[in-house]
Amino acid sequence: MTSPMLFTPFTLGNVTFPNRVVVSPMCQYEAVDGYVQDWHRAHHARFALGGVGGAVVEATGVTAEGRITPSCLGIWDDSQIDGLATITALYRKYGIPTGIQLGHSGRKGSSASPWDGAGPLDPSSPEAWQTVAPGAVPHSEGWPAPHALEADEIGEIVDAFAAAAKRAVAAGFDFVEIHGAHGYLIHTFISPLSNTRTDSYGGSFENRIRLALEVTEAVRAAIPADMPLFYRASAVDHAEGGLDIGDTVRLAKALKEKRVDLIDCSAGGINGPVARTRIPQTPGHQIPYADEIRRDADIATMAVGLITDAAQAEAVIAEGKADLVALGRELLSDPAFGYHAAVQLGLADPESVLPKNYGFYLSRRREALARHGKS
Ligand X SMILES: Cc1cc2nc3c(=O)[nH]c(=O)nc-3n(C[C@H](O)[C@H](O)[C@H](O)COP(=O)(O)O)c2cc1C
Interface ranges with ligand X (CB under 6 A):
24-27, 58-59, 101, 179, 181-182, 232, 266, 304-307, 327-330
d(CA 84, CA 58): 11
Packed helices 151-170 and 210-222: angle between N→C axes, nearest 10 degrees: 30
Q: Smallest distance, Å, CB 278 to ligand X?
A: 12
Check if 184 is active-site: yes
Which DSSP letter does residue 375 get? -
Q: Are 255 and 300 in contact (CB under 8 A)?
A: no
Q: Smallest distance, Å, CB 285 to ligand X?
A: 9
Helix count (H) and strand count (E) of the chain? 12, 12
Q: Smallest distance, Å, CB 99 to ligand X?
A: 12
3-class DSSP state of 241? coil
| Torsion sign across C-alpha atoms 198, 195, 101, 79 | positive
Q: Are 294 and 323 in contact (CB under 8 A)?
A: yes
Cβ-in-10-Å burial (0-12, 13-18, 19+) of 278 comes to: exposed
Q: Smallest distance, Å, CB 102 to ligand X?
A: 11
Q: Count how many Cα atoms sit within 13 Å of the Cα of residue 262 in the half-sphere of its side chain.
A: 24
CB neighbourhood size of 270 (10 A): 29
Q: Smallest distance, Å, CB 57 to ligand X?
A: 8
- Select the residue whose beta carbon is closest to ligand X and give its number: 328
Q: With helix as H, strand as E and coil as C, how does 122-148 read?
A: CCCCCCCCCCEECCCCCCCCCCCCCEE
Q: Are 139 and 119 in contact (CB under 8 A)?
A: no
Q: Are 35 and 84 in contact (CB under 8 A)?
A: no
Of 94, 184, 289, 339, the catalytic one is 184
Which DSSP letter does residue 121 get? P
Q: Smallest distance, Å, CB 333 to ligand X?
A: 9
Q: Are 330 and 23 in contact (CB under 8 A)?
A: no
* Nearer to ligand X among residue 71 and residue 266 (C-beta): 266
* Nearest residue to 83 via CA among 129, 111, 44: 44
d(CA 323, CA 321): 7
d(CA 230, CA 216): 10
Annotated active-site positions, please? Answer: 184
